[in-house]
Amino acid sequence: MTGPMLLPGSTGLNGSGQPTTLGVMGGGQLGRMFVQAAQAMGYFTVVLDPDVISPAGLVSHYHIKTDYLDEQGLTQLLQRCAAVTTEFENVPAPALVTLGAARPTAPSADAVAIAQDRIKEKAHLARSGVPVAPYAVIETAAQLTAVEDALLPGILKTARLGYDGKGQVRCNSRAELTSAWDALK
């Protein structure tokens, strides 16, 4: 296991008796739950999220209101926290590379980069011996035409920025597949 480990009954205090500050990239509802749980255990929290009224930012001790790739914002986060996590899967992996060079960061930038791209994710799982559903990578019109009949009906998914059902279209026929390809651009 890498990074800090939280044990039951932890006080959230560092070696000098001061509260340790935990950072979170992203300020949505999951971030808010993280912040509240960390605070209940005695930790201070800092959120980096561009939304001035982000749910997590509203309850955190500190809220850095800037873009996830803003160098000054990342520096502020590193100055305040002992470790960093992410609130959602689409935090830019390059920001986590920067943070991970100076602080324990979980998940790692490499893991986030894989999870952010469904093509990389499927390939990684398959290489790791995890069974995956049959699929085809469709990046060109020629690949769209070459989709095997056995994959229909199926679901066309964007490779990036899809979550909670977004970026997905059920396709029962080739006509629906072509229409969905056009709609998802």
pLDDT tens per residue across span 109-139: 999 999 889 899 999 999 999 999 999 999 9
Angle separating helix axes 71-80 and 93-100, nearest 10 degrees: 40
Q: What is the pLDDT of residues 12-38, one digit of tens each?
A: 656 666 679 999 999 999 999 999 999
CATH 3.30.1490.20 in the chain, residue ranges: 118-184
- Please state which architecture CATH assigns to domain 21-114: 3-Layer(aba) Sandwich (3.40)
CATH 3.40.50.20 in the chain, residue ranges: 21-114
**Average pLDDT over all residues of the chain:** 88
Q: Which superfamily does CATH assign the domain made up of 118-184 to?
A: ATP-grasp fold, A domain (3.30.1490.20)
CB within 8 Å of 35: residues ≥ 6 apart: 24, 45, 47, 56, 59, 60
CB within 8 Å of 182: residues ≥ 6 apart: none
Check pLDDT > 70 for residue 5. no
Q: Which of 83, 69, 63, 81 is nearest to 4 (CA)?
A: 83
* pLDDT confidence of residue 131: 95
